[in-house]
Structure 1
């Protein structure tokens, strides 16, 4: 069997790429459907769901590179002529299907990969690369758009595969020609066929089908978020000696052994602070956080549930502390107090660095908490899926 194509038959390398791509895609398809349907109420259920999703993503990435190599190889090869070239309509449809297959074999896994890279958390790819992608930011907007495109392109790919299989069976059963046999392993059948004649019409038709799918998805609401809205309590304005002008309140958890970062969008800080201490005390601070404003990538909705933050019952968290001197050095302070979260009040000491330049103060601090102290993730009593530690970081600038 020749390795390269001729105008009459496909070579061995093209056949290997064809069947490898088919195997990977037809494996990724059911894994994705199964993963979507699996429940995740318990520790074991979540672990299984993540495992199936990881397998789906990993196979998808492998399918992308296999399809890419297949296309690059095809560019260098002759395209065997069609055995039904005299039937212009059928030949154009077959060529259009090939363009749809080639394009979708790249676009489907790529949009899924970009979605994975743009969001935080859940089901890592089982490869030494690929958790992030160049030029792809961590963005819920990017993740949402690419997830919708992934869904629409899957439909196009699935329908095209069915049409492709149907066409091959028609050639074998009805036309009784050698179209199917030319792609099967083994020696290529001897056929009398004219060299392939390229046309822009099938490519134009394929582009039109992709465009129609995107437009139909837009009007059909595919690009709209289908997540239930998260209830976010409106925080009351506070009167403070120091007014926060900018700041970030972030957290980082460990899920399936990988860090997942998130941030709270709405919080207030009531700060009383003087550079000169009285018996080591510089003032006090009260921070109130709207839990529903947390953005935690793909696990945001799960984090709001009863087993975790239970935002419906406990919409806010409050940190109240005295600001004390820290003997470790200049500009070193400690906020020593309590954090009330999900009905539990726990002592917390937050070390931080603060510099005051006339009427402007800049501070940064961090602390590690244990989710078990607040009854968060009680259905996950070990660190197999979710680590116990939660790293909280705060950075802000305030005006006197």
Structure 2
């Protein structure tokens, strides 16, 4: 039979149950495998495929869960075979609620985390990479990722409890609880009793409280640990021009998509004569504070910025005016122990004692020996575009 009754599960409910169960187990296995594989050039392509499948399965589970809930609402639910066992029935109901909640919260938080990032491991067709009202934001991605992790713990626990409960019914109680979901066997409670009405309310409320806490924790902890933001840049006293604000960003192509990172902690010493259009600058960057979305830790690793051994990058250059507001800073960039010539072209406007500049430079990561094992641009591009903005006063 397709539909449920008070004594058995129909074929639609059983198909949805087992399909979702198999997909969840596969997704969990892929996630655990991926988390325990070392990030390197040799594993990059495999991890990209693994996480793409993991994410796609997660989104599939989300939509199947929606279908399952809609179907469950329209169908009668088979009665518990032992409603007189109050604590057991309460535990079973709570586990069911937790599983349903996890089937929504875990994949949705994962999708939000993915949408807030760019680049690594795209969700496969027909699902998209973005979600409405979800901005590209490392903060959003981090919060969603934390919720995703906490929801996974609930899913592990509730899934284990659900499986153990089913085995108990099959091996110890020797009743038809598992058989009703396995092949649609019909069975009624021997006593004809029904579970106490408060059980549904308490189990639902307990699950709601747990997941409300899971969703709230990232926001509460972020508020508690927040401090006054550090200045984007600070100026050296030796410079004629004092930096008031600014930003250094870098963009690289990863897995065919642009990924933009930030270098938030840097200082600049700037001398510049608006009359001659000439000057000098030295910029010192703390690379240990860089951020690059989901691959920040890998970017800090030995294959790339190697921040455990090289925490500082230094750009030193002579400034000259090319034409009008167009200028160029010709100098060198010392990064991960390599010094390479760099040309930064920028637009500079000076109004009295106020100056604003925007510029960019194109680097090749191979010149610095970064990502030497990533010989294929399809994984990590060779070109790195650095964008700089500065507002300064004299």
Q: 1:190 to 1:9 in 2, by over 3 A?
A: closer
Bigger mean CA deviation after superposition, 203-212 or 10-19: 203-212
Measure the CA separation in 2 of the matches of 1:66 and 1:339: 52
Tell me if structure 1 keeps the 8 A contact 2:327–2:346.
yes
Q: CA deviation at 1:67?
A: 1.3
Measure the CA separation in 2 of the matches of 1:240 and 1:70: 66
Pairs within 5 Å for 1:301-312: 301-312=297-308
Q: Secondary structure at the match of 1:387?
A: strand
Q: 1:314 to 1:239 in 2, by over 3 A?
A: same
- Structure 2, unpaired ranges of 5+: 223-232
Tell me if structure 2 keeps the 8 A contact 1:120–1:296.
no
Measure the CA separation in 2 of the matches of 1:335 and 1:355: 15
Q: CA deviation at 1:26?
A: 1.0
Structure 1 vs Structure 2 CA RMSD: 3.1
> Residues 200-220 of structure 1: CA distance to partner in whole angstroms, max 9, x if unpaired?
53453354367569989x99x
- Structure 1, unpaired ranges of 5+: 225-233
> Residues 189-210 of structure 1: CA distance to partner in whole angstroms, max 9, x if unpaired?
3444669778453453354367
Equivalent residue in structure 2 for 1:189, among 167, 179, 185: 185
Measure the CA separation in 2 of the matches of 1:196 and 1:121: 53
Measure the CA separation in 2 of the matches of 1:308 and 1:144: 22
Q: CA deviation at 1:181?
A: 2.7
Q: Secondary structure at the match of 1:78?
A: coil
Tell me if structure 1 keeps the 8 A contact 2:79–2:188.
no
Q: 1:358 to 1:205 in 2, by over 3 A?
A: same
Q: Which residue of 1 aligns with 2:161?
A: 163
Q: 1:184 to 1:43 in 2, by over 3 A?
A: same
Q: Secondary structure at the match of 1:326?
A: strand
Tell me if structure 1 keeps the 8 A contact 2:348–2:357.
yes
Q: 1:71 to 1:323 in 2, by over 3 A?
A: same
Q: Which residue of 2 aligns with 1:131?
A: 129
Q: 1:199 to 1:131 in 2, by over 3 A?
A: farther
Measure the CA separation in 2 of the matches of 1:389 and 1:266: 23
Q: Secondary structure at the match of 2:259?
A: strand
Q: Which residue of 2 aligns with 1:318?
A: 314
Q: Which residue of 2 aligns with 1:13?
A: 12
Measure the CA separation in 1 of the matches of 2:132 and 2:195: 38
Q: Which residue of 1 aligns with 2:28?
A: 29
Measure the CA separation in 2 of the matches of 1:146 and 1:81: 37
Q: Which residue of 1 aligns with 2:227?
A: none
Q: Which residue of 1 aligns with 2:113?
A: 115
Tell me if structure 1 keeps the 8 A contact 2:119–2:256.
no
Indicate yes or no: 2:80 matched with 1:82: yes
Q: Which residue of 1 aligns with 2:176?
A: 178
Q: 1:161 to 1:203 in 2, by over 3 A?
A: farther
Q: Which residue of 1 aligns with 2:261?
A: 262
Measure the CA separation in 1 of the matches of 2:186 and 2:37: 49
| TM-score normalised over the length of structure 1 | 0.83
Equivalent residue in structure 2 for 1:289, among 285, 294, 312: 285
Q: Which residue of 1 aligns with 2:38?
A: 39
Measure the CA separation in 2 of the matches of 1:389 and 1:251: 10
Indicate yes or no: 2:329 matched with 1:331: no
Q: 1:197 to 1:79 in 2, by over 3 A?
A: farther
Indicate yes or no: 2:87 matched with 1:93: no
Bigger mean CA deviation after superposition, 290-299 or 168-177: 168-177
Q: Which residue of 1 aligns with 2:242?
A: 243
Q: Secondary structure at the match of 1:270?
A: strand
Q: Secondary structure at the match of 1:377?
A: coil
Tell me if structure 1 keeps the 8 A contact 2:115–2:130.
yes
Q: CA deviation at 1:384?
A: 3.5
Tell me if structure 2 keeps the 8 A contact 1:80–1:195.
no
Q: Which residue of 1 aligns with 2:358?
A: 364
